[in-house]
A and B are shown apart, each in its own frame.
Chain A
Amino acid sequence: MKKGHRRTGFVATCIVPATLLFIVFMIIPTFNVFKMSLYKWGGYSNKKKFVGLDNFQKLLGDTKFLQSFQNTLLLIVIVTVITMSMALIFAAILSREKIRGQNIFRVVFYIPNILSVVIISAIFSAIYDANNGMLNSLLSLFGKGDNPVYWLGDQKIVIFSLAGAMVWQAIGYYMVMYMASMASVPETLYESSALDGATRLQQFFQITLPLIWTNIRTTLTFFIISSINLSFLFVKAMTSGGPDGSTEVFLSYMYKQAYTNSSYGYGMAVGVVVFVFSFGLSAIVNLLTKREPIDL
């Protein structure tokens, strides 16, 4: 009994600091976001007016919000699909195949991850530059020089240009994560399957993928949430939501409304939608990717 008490005391001592920090920095701010979304308030003065669900009602009819919703969804889908599949392919190649300069590739792929988003944005702004950019210079080699592509100016292309920068930034990190989990797949499985005549592609789909599935699931959820955050940073640093709102995403629209448009309460309503959306999406992804774990 005494031992049990001591144990409870010890556990409580360990948990309390983290719980307190969690409450102060996560629960209370989140609760405040929900609370503020019910007010009409500019953010700085002491004039707050309770408006109930008015802000949410206005959101439903706000075409600019819907456009930012659409852009966010598009970015999440494109960036997630491309990043995840390319990270998997590169991880498989680097961990299963013997190629010269393997370690250099690992480092090169990982470098974008240690660069700040502002630097990456500057690099890509230079690559995408319509007049002297690398991409257009390359295209001019194939005779496309007369009509330069406006990577950041053409409203039909610009969102994909942003996606390109986001993919480049994220691939290395996830590749390293997958390489780590691929390293734990027993070599014997590949050997025996090779004896049975399995091709490399079959090995990838039938051995590697199923065995690292738990890892993929976890990273997928992380990645979707971080895409929402990262898209804001890239938009802020590369396009400021332009041209003419064509790259506005959830959080950049939230910022614009909360600050530039003096509608802090409305901005928080966008925040609530983002919160619910992120949770919902993660739950759906979790549900859809659920498989029976394979025990070896």
Chain B
Amino acid sequence: MKRKLSMALAVTMVASMVSGTGAISVLAEDAKTHEGETLKVAAIETAYGADMWTQVCDAFTELTGAAVELTTDKNLEDVIGASMKSGDYPDVVHLATGRPAALTETLIKEDGLENITDVFDMTVPGEDVKVGDKIAGGFTESSLTNPYGDGENYLAPMFYSPCGLFYNAGLFAEKGWEVPTTWDEMWALGDKAAEEGIALFSYPTTGYFDAFFYSMLYEAGGSEFFDKATNYEEGIWDTEEAKTVFDIITKLASYTEKSVPSNANNDNYLKNQQLILDNKALFMPNGNWVIGEMADAPRADGFEWGFMALPAITDGGDRYSFAWFEQMWIPAAAENIDLAKEFVAFMYSDTAADIFAQSGAVQPLLGFADTLEGDSKLYYSIYDDGAKVALGAFATTDAVEGVSFADTVFGTVNSLVSGDKTEEEWIEAIKADSDQLRAALK
């Protein structure tokens, strides 16, 4: 019996090697070196759903033999936070920065993440390509994956979304308006629209100004200026470039629909997005998830989503679209770090990428955007149409008690719209906070 089995296996192996079709299954057999091990994976459930995580974990188990204990939840911090406080950490966590509970940021600030630079030199499990060779340029060098600016990666880039301005393309066609390409054209359009009772601008919450602000920093002074500004360099907010950014946002605030600050919070922001669908405002900053979010909302006749990068500051100047992306990381206190790294590497396999893409989640893999179809193609091809990629965020600092830079920089936009604060007050507050954060830079 044993002999028969081994004969059969040998025949299958030879046959598959000859035909080439069984190469992956052979590799899989070889790679099943983690039988009996268990990996604890925690992933946030977002608009993409939780199914894709179950499928990806199953695929990983099939390939490596390791069992995966998967935790997914919409409020992942509430589920894993308590056990983390008591010292029980998941091995791999998929949770982006920028969430109210700030679990990821807290661990970055407290050196609680494992260095995963070597993952990008690993071969993708089940394939013969290096992880780093599959990831599109810029993503692994950004401050969102390289938080301490020392060339070492602590977070892996996962699903990304181009952010820019969304509008009703149908309305532009109906009115015969050109979509503006510079801020000057934007203001002219704003005046024209105001005559018809349509505001130029709306924003869901001031939190959406992060992608907007970062893109503007790039437009005003390129990547060098962006790096200086996001590292709180002394005097950076007094420069001409910074002034340009502040002036544009302040002017944009005066063109914003007046009811926007009333609803610019986590519970009512859909009303601000609805303004675009109702033709009450022309543009809003957002990511392509907004389409799913507003799928069931009522809309004006002939409504059609349009999407563009931010207008250029000067005629022919660079236009940027911020690539917002989620991150995956390994807690430094995780028990199975080696297996966890293998799991992270597996995320970049064609198998995983296809599973994710079926749920609409797109990873920054080289050439992957070309394989997309339909609506997704429109948004992900923005960078092929001349827009440049803006990547990065404010540099990591130790926690500074009482200083929330996001509130100071982005939150104040509400006060600019309502007139409760002036541009000068805004800049002064940013400078004051910058001084404190600079001293706490990691």
Q: Are B411 and A45 in contact (CB under 8 A)?
A: no
Q: Are B106 and A125 in contact (CB under 8 A)?
A: no
Confirm or deny: A172 has a beta carbon within 8 angstroms of a beta carbon on chain B: no
Report the bound CA distance from A254 to B40 in whole Å: 31
Instruction: Report which residue of B87, B261, B280 has the largest number of chain A beta carbons within 10 angstroms of its beta carbon.
Output: B261
Report the bound CA distance from A260 to B109 in whole Å: 12
Contact pick for A43, options B85, B87, B100, B280, CB 8 Å: B85
Confirm or deny: B210 has a beta carbon within 8 angstroms of a beta carbon on chain A: no
Contact pick for B403, options A244, A261, A264, CB 8 Å: A261
Return B331 CB to nearest CB of chain A, in Å. Answer: 9
Q: Are B263 and A152 in contact (CB under 8 A)?
A: yes
When distances are taken between beta carbons in the complex, the residues of chain B under 8 Å from A40 are 399, 401
Q: Are B420 and A42 in contact (CB under 8 A)?
A: no
Q: Are A44 and B411 in contact (CB under 8 A)?
A: no
Q: Which B139-189 residues sit within 8 Å CB-CB of chain A?
A: none
Contact pick for B87, options A46, A151, A153, CB 8 Å: A46
Q: Which B404-422 residues sit within 8 Å CB-CB of chain A?
A: 404, 407, 411-412, 414-415, 418, 420-421
Confirm or deny: B102 has a beta carbon within 8 angstroms of a beta carbon on chain A: yes
Confirm or deny: A47 has a beta carbon within 8 angstroms of a beta carbon on chain B: yes
Known contacts A125-B268, A259-B102: A266-B85 contact under CB 8 Å = no
* Interface pick from A11-19, A105-113, A232-240: A232-240
Report the bound CA distance from A1 to B87 in whole Å: 52
Q: Are A244 and B112 in contact (CB under 8 A)?
A: no
Q: Are B271 and A129 in contact (CB under 8 A)?
A: yes
When distances are taken between beta carbons in the complex, the residues of chain A under 8 Å from B280 are 131
Contact pick for A262, options B106, B111, B262, CB 8 Å: B106
Report the bound CA distance from A122 to B266 in whole Å: 12
Q: Are A243 and B401 in contact (CB under 8 A)?
A: no
CB closest residue in chain A, given B259: A130
Report the bound CA distance from A243 to B272 in whole Å: 14
Confirm or deny: B381 has a beta carbon within 8 angstroms of a beta carbon on chain A: no
Q: Are A237 and B267 in contact (CB under 8 A)?
A: yes
Q: Are A260 and B265 in contact (CB under 8 A)?
A: no
CB closest residue in chain B, given A130: B259
A-B contact count (CB 8 A): 140
Confirm or deny: A256 has a beta carbon within 8 angstroms of a beta carbon on chain B: yes
Confirm or deny: B402 has a beta carbon within 8 angstroms of a beta carbon on chain A: yes
Return B26 CB to nearest CB of chain A, in Å. Answer: 42
When distances are taken between beta carbons in the complex, the residues of chain B under 8 Å from A58 are 401-402
Report the bound CA distance from A263 to B102 in whole Å: 10
CB closest residue in chain A, given B84: A44
Known contacts A44-B81, A244-B414: A150-B102 contact under CB 8 Å = no
Return A154 CB to nearest CB of chain B, in Å. Answer: 7
Q: Are B87 and A262 in contact (CB under 8 A)?
A: no
Return A63 CB to nearest CB of chain B, in Å. Answer: 8
When distances are taken between beta carbons in the complex, the residues of chain A under 8 Å from B105 are 262
CB closest residue in chain B, given A265: B401
Contact pick for A238, options B267, B271, B333, B418, CB 8 Å: B267
Contact pick for B404, options A47, A131, A261, CB 8 Å: A261
Known contacts A64-B402, A263-B401: A42-B262 contact under CB 8 Å = no
Confirm or deny: A292 has a beta carbon within 8 angstroms of a beta carbon on chain B: no
When distances are taken between beta carbons in the complex, the residues of chain A under 8 Å from B415 are 155, 243-244
CB closest residue in chain A, given B87: A46
Interface bin, chain B: 35 or more
The 0/1 profile, CB within 8 Å of A marked 1, for residues 79-114 of chain B is 001001101000000000000111101110111100
CB closest residue in chain B, given A151: B262
The 0/1 profile, CB within 8 Å of A marked 1, for residues 353-368 of chain B is 0000000000000000
Known contacts A259-B100, A266-B401: A239-B265 contact under CB 8 Å = yes
Confirm or deny: A55 has a beta carbon within 8 angstroms of a beta carbon on chain B: yes
The count of residues in chain A whose C-beta lies closer than 8 Å to any C-beta of chain B is 46
Confirm or deny: B264 has a beta carbon within 8 angstroms of a beta carbon on chain A: yes
Q: Are B264 and A242 in contact (CB under 8 A)?
A: yes
Q: Are A47 and B261 in contact (CB under 8 A)?
A: no
Confirm or deny: A148 has a beta carbon within 8 angstroms of a beta carbon on chain B: yes
Q: Are B265 and A257 in contact (CB under 8 A)?
A: no
Confirm or deny: A65 has a beta carbon within 8 angstroms of a beta carbon on chain B: yes
The 0/1 profile, CB within 8 Å of B marked 1, for residues 4-46 of chain A is 0000000000000000000000000000000000001011111
CB closest residue in chain B, given A259: B101
When distances are taken between beta carbons in the complex, the residues of chain A under 8 Å from B107 are 42, 44-45
When distances are taken between beta carbons in the complex, the residues of chain A under 8 Å from B106 are 42-45, 259, 262, 264
7 nearest A-B pairs in the assembled complex, by CB-CB distance: A153-B262, A243-B414, A130-B259, A240-B265, A42-B106, A45-B110, A45-B112
Which residues of B does A touch, CB under 8 Å? 81, 84-85, 87, 100-103, 105-107, 109-112, 205-206, 258-268, 271, 280, 333, 399-404, 407, 411-412, 414-415, 418, 420-421
Additional pairs, 19, CB under 8 Å, beyond known A244-B414, A259-B102:
A42-B110, A44-B103, A44-B110, A125-B267, A130-B258, A150-B259, A150-B262, A153-B259, A242-B411, A244-B206, A244-B415, A244-B420, A257-B402, A261-B402, A262-B102, A262-B105, A262-B110, A263-B400, A263-B401
- A sample of 12 cross-chain residue pairs with beta-carbon separation below 8 angstroms, ordered by A number, consists of A45-B112, A47-B112, A58-B402, A65-B402, A125-B268, A131-B280, A150-B258, A152-B263, A152-B268, A243-B418, A245-B407, A262-B106
